[in-house]
Structure 1
């Protein structure tokens, strides 16, 4: 049994949760940011994430839905916590307000949120032979930590 499977089994046992499908993943495309964002989740500051719709259209990841459980890892793949999806909205990038963006716990204003996310989306979209546009649909997923 690998580290993530062991962590999941411990979560199920300690919380009396019935076994079910789950995903596991880390945030971002770099070690530094992946670890920083996992820490923000653990501190309760990061309660949402905004993904490009292209990550789900490619079929590599399932579209999140309310009630989904995920193991959040650091860059090295070490489990940090289990989150439960509480809300999923699909919003054009241009229509993301700071009221929504602040739930990600990363930025002090909408301009810095946009700057960081445009950079991320441009890198991510390039990997999928897509292009970032201001009207690109963003999958905005809110979550809560249910196990540490």
Structure 2
């Protein structure tokens, strides 16, 4: 069940855009980053601060969960670990590429750590390894990564 703050933030955003929730065709998803409280809360704050403007996900996870891939124009309400709404983002760009082909520019947009490609590769390798093994696969340089760039549209 979604925290009441998610619905409230969505309604406030629509109102700020001159729309009524009952009359909009816009949709959103609500989610938090990562698989632990510390990282989820920290990354949400990086988005709110305008530092984190991208995220990377394991392509296989979308397949395994039968989830739609993000697409340009999608809205997401970023929450903290407890599901409390922090901000709304709109997807601006989506690329799917092998882990080994993720660029330094994208790593910098993710805004994590020292924003270097080396840091990005290290922390995402560990995270994707935890995520891929329960799917019966091993991490590889060729595993596909969904690279999503976004902009904050409401805080």
Q: TM-score range by the shorter chain?
A: over 0.9
Q: Does 1:128 align with 2:135?
A: yes
- Whole-angstrom CA distance in 1 between matches of 2:135 and 2:7: 29
- Whole-angstrom CA distance in 1 between matches of 2:117 and 2:5: 37
Give the Å deviation of 1:43.
0.7
Aligned to 2:87: 81
Q: Name the CA shift for 1:60/1:6 in 2 (closer, same or farther; >3 Å).
A: farther
Aligned to 2:30: 24
Q: When the two structures are superposed, what TM-score results if normalisation uses the length of structure 1?
A: 0.93
- Whole-angstrom CA distance in 1 between matches of 2:18 and 2:60: 35
Q: Which of 120, 141, 149 does residue 142 from structure 1 map onto? A: 149
Give the Å deviation of 1:19.
4.0
Q: Name the CA shift for 1:142/1:115 in 2 (closer, same or farther; >3 Å).
A: same
Q: Does 1:45 align with 2:51?
A: yes
Aligned to 2:124: 117
Q: Does 1:13 align with 2:19?
A: no
Q: Which runs of 5+ in 1 are unaligned?
A: none
- Whole-angstrom CA distance in 2 between matches of 1:19 and 1:82: 16
Give the Å deviation of 1:28.
0.6
CA RMSD of aligned residues (A): 1.5
Structure 1, 44-53 or 5-14: larger mean CA deviation:
5-14
Q: Which runs of 5+ in 2 are unaligned?
A: none
Matched residue of 1:131: which SS? coil
